[in-house]
Structure 1
């Protein structure tokens, strides 16, 4: 089996957050990517989230248009291009490359003694611009060649998607883009989503519904998140998709390793939800064919200890419902707002007999047996 894995970072997050001090053991998506075996672009990619600062622009397989950080954070601009980038990497073919050298690249080559032409100036002294020359080889051309040589077969036999926040929604978008693509429509997809949140005004079918190409969907959701604009999505799936969703105490970032008392700063006060999510992300990815190392490997006793710690700290988790990343809260003290497909509803009401855990987000008491569907 040839598995390809895509890691979608959340809004404002990027691949270097495995060392972000706000996450006591590394932000989950960046950490999982850093622990993945094989070769980047050949076996896996990690995609920076909207509003993270365009750190990956130069390596994208599509032109993302250089979106502003603030619009990425507020509206998610750039995530359509992120999805298209991932789609092209899966197919092993870019449709864009930055062929012009930047000033930084030009200076680096000059300082290294590489024989390249001097930069040429154009325009008046006031509006002068510089041409730093052409790249001999673009990053995209290099990655395409590596994919062609090292990925056998070129089109993976299965694609595993992992994402947090808007990165979780990006998983939905990519799965739907794949089923609409003649080359990829028959490739099975597995999704592991952590508190997928699209943001205000972003409830469209391709973000909240999934096709029959998705064979398994696993989602973990933050029970105590109440920030305005942070309504999460439980997608409607096709008949036959194996679906398992779980509620965990904590805020949006708690589930990916922010263990602080307020769910936003530093500290290791409430680490258990993040530990559980990481453990089952590793469990599912390995079962789906992704090569991972440095796994937690929690056993049943360790999981039960986590459950006991969460129960003992329940009052601290409930207090998080007063916090907000956006200064305003939404929902009620008892219930978070959720979009089940296109329909808004209350958190605990998302459940049905077709789910592996029929109680869905209404599950009140987690035990080791609750996760049987994930092994």
Structure 2
């Protein structure tokens, strides 16, 4: 077949680009397929070897692609594009990825001037998967490429620490279909995956998030432990099933959207069910790989840590994908195949059955909403909210006993009691008045009878005298009792008015205290959230420091691309990391400034290296400068300073070190006259 080179500069060894007459080319234009390999992975991984018995998935698919295709080797692969970024820190931080993406963007823009492009299909693994997400996002912002349809297949997208940005965490509406597959058993620190979310104006993309058992490399064809068949005396494992299923999904996805693949993987429904049955039977082996790590093991959370958008706070993989760990089903794809009897399996239908992410995730350990990453700090740093709230609650409790005394002295209930007694006294008064009126009537009646001469004079006078005496005594008695009752009523009425007045004042005071309590509770909540965020930020910086030292100073590459250090130096580095961990355990409320002070103490220890660019002390010095920028809200990274120190000799680095620890130098101290441009400290 006729081949034509698309790459105009033809300068990158890791870039394979070609156009062939194939099914991917028709009257509507060509389909361009782009592949991004992961860190230290290249097209050479298409060749079977111990770690990849059937070849690595991206590399083998890239090699089999028919039609217009771009292929990029990963950082640390030794390709020409990445040779300038060959030390451990640069490889660990993924330097060179942006050059790959820039090459794709520029060449696609040029190619579109020459040929009609129908769509672009992108596939990648690890950092290559994150690069694929970023490439699609940057295409959406390019004037010549933003309307070009994109289909994306990302296998375990891991950008690496300090590399999470708006591009690899956002999917724009130029992406028509996206499938993201995540390794459920990966627990290496620094290997947190990104879960990209749709842009705010993107209501078109179909995004499928899928979980698959295995560690980071299991998904692309490594069926063993991360670095080979044997690991730390543990039993041999063989977990090829996830890699076969993922490769099948990738090939079917690319074929669905017009990419040409020679001899694509084909699996029947029964073959897929058999593979899933094998996965289920090896559940303990899949769980065991969680204890092995590329770096150090993830410290927090039982599930794998991920970035939801650009936020890392308490975000875990079980928020993005359905988990089936308590069932006899492996994952969502397994359930789909069980529910549908079509053969071959309608994978396009499965990919189209999208389950949207929750907009607001909650912390699975506390079941509380995850705070936004840019939550504001409390403006008053000196207020002791917890103490203020405690005093307020205590003060409020004393007032509460005055406002709400025991039931028999309750002002409201006392008010009702007074009302009842007052009504009773009024009734008694009415009875007395009626009796008094009866007595007066009886006296009038006696007088009338006397006047008409019905009785003898002596009898009438005697009877009248007796009756009058009795009635006068009775009336006097009732009048005294009535006065006493009226005085009691007046006294109770006065008390009732006073109680009402006091109750109103106390109610107002209580409402004021409750408002103050509510305000203090809100401040405490903000302070607590701020404290928790500060703790998480400190832990994150310590994790970055740990990974920076681990990947840049301690670990070595089997390919000989890492700067090597002696046994004593590595031991000092590990002891230093252990001391930092112990310090953090004892000072969980510490600030980033206090961590920075610890680094200054470490730099004064003579055991921590000399002043050469790759010394442990130089690594600590670079990270110290990065923390200063961090606290001053400046965009920075530890590798920025490390790269600067790599260009200096030991005297220059020593001058920077002395400036940090505040030590003054004499003019003739180790050749200070050689560097007049530096400050004299």
Q: Which residue of 2 aligns with 1:125?
A: none
1:346 aligns with 2:324: no
For residues 87 and 276 of structure 2, the distance between their equivalents in structure 1, rounded to whole angstroms, comes to 38
Matches within 5 A, 1:54-133: 55-57=79-81, 66-92=84-110
CA contact (8 A) 1:331 1:337 kept: no
Shift of 1:14: 0.8
Offset from partner CA, 1:52-79 (integer Å, 9 cap, x none)? 11x243xxxxxx7822242342111110
1:50 aligns with 2:75: yes
Matched position secondary structure for 2:65 = coil
For residues 80 and 228 of structure 1, the distance between their equivalents in structure 2, rounded to whole angstroms, comes to 23
TM-score (norm 2): 0.42
1:263 aligns with 2:233: no
For residues 56 and 33 of structure 1, the distance between their equivalents in structure 2, rounded to whole angstroms, comes to 19
1:229 aligns with 2:190: yes
For residues 199 and 320 of structure 1, the distance between their equivalents in structure 2, rounded to whole angstroms, comes to 20
For residues 80 and 306 of structure 1, the distance between their equivalents in structure 2, rounded to whole angstroms, comes to 37
For residues 47 and 250 of structure 2, the distance between their equivalents in structure 1, rounded to whole angstroms, comes to 19
From 280, 288, 298, give the equivalent of 2:257.
Answer: 288
Q: Which residue of 2 aligns with 1:9?
A: 37
Distance 1:34 1:176, change over 3 A: same
For residues 222 and 83 of structure 2, the distance between their equivalents in structure 1, rounded to whole angstroms, comes to 31
From 172, 183, 186, give the equivalent of 2:147.
Answer: 186
1:33 aligns with 2:62: yes
Matched position secondary structure for 1:196 = coil
CA contact (8 A) 2:301 2:316 kept: no
1:313 aligns with 2:282: yes
Number of residues of Structure 1 aligned to a counterpart in Structure 2: 296
For residues 83 and 185 of structure 2, the distance between their equivalents in structure 1, rounded to whole angstroms, comes to 36
Ranked by relative contact order (alpha carbons within 8 Å, sequence separation 6 or more), the top structure is 1
Shift of 1:285: 0.2
Q: Which residue of 1 aligns with 2:208?
A: 244
For residues 25 and 65 of structure 1, the distance between their equivalents in structure 2, rounded to whole angstroms, comes to 27
TM-score (norm 1): 0.75
Distance 1:91 1:268, change over 3 A: farther
Offset from partner CA, 1:174-230 (integer Å, 9 cap, x none)? 111111111101001111000000111111111111211111110111000011100
Matched position secondary structure for 1:31 = helix
CA contact (8 A) 1:246 1:363 kept: no
Distance 1:65 1:253, change over 3 A: closer
Offset from partner CA, 1:272-294 (integer Å, 9 cap, x none)? 00000000000000001100112
Q: Which residue of 1 aligns with 2:170?
A: 209
Matches within 5 A, 1:126-141: none
Shift of 1:331: 4.8
| Structure 1 unmatched runs, 5+ | 58-63, 94-146, 351-359
Shift of 1:20: 4.9
For residues 287 and 76 of structure 2, the distance between their equivalents in structure 1, rounded to whole angstroms, comes to 29
CA contact (8 A) 2:226 2:294 kept: no
For residues 331 and 349 of structure 1, the distance between their equivalents in structure 2, rounded to whole angstroms, comes to 18
Distance 1:83 1:361, change over 3 A: farther
Q: Which residue of 2 aligns with 1:18?
A: 46
CA contact (8 A) 1:6 1:161 kept: yes
Q: Which residue of 2 aligns with 1:140?
A: none
CA contact (8 A) 1:250 1:263 kept: no
1:218 aligns with 2:179: yes
Matched position secondary structure for 2:74 = coil
Offset from partner CA, 1:331-359 (integer Å, 9 cap, x none)? 55731101121122011111xxxxxxxxx
For residues 164 and 229 of structure 1, the distance between their equivalents in structure 2, rounded to whole angstroms, comes to 16
For residues 61 and 52 of structure 2, the distance between their equivalents in structure 1, rounded to whole angstroms, comes to 13
Distance 1:185 1:169, change over 3 A: same
Distance 1:314 1:292, change over 3 A: same
Distance 1:47 1:195, change over 3 A: same
Matched position secondary structure for 1:187 = coil
Offset from partner CA, 1:224-247 (integer Å, 9 cap, x none)? 001110000110023221011111
Shift of 1:268: 7.6
Matched position secondary structure for 2:204 = coil
From 329, 333, 357, give the equivalent of 2:297.
Answer: 329
**Where does structure 1 differ by over 4 angstroms across 4 or more consecutive aligned residues?**
none
Offset from partner CA, 1:291-314 (integer Å, 9 cap, x none)? 011212011111101110000000
For residues 134 and 319 of structure 2, the distance between their equivalents in structure 1, rounded to whole angstroms, comes to 24
Offset from partner CA, 1:85-141 (integer Å, 9 cap, x none)? 111222236xxxxxxxxxxxxxxxxxxxxxxxxxxxxxxxxxxxxxxxxxxxxxxxx
| Structure 2 unmatched runs, 5+ | 1-27, 230-235, 338-346, 353-681
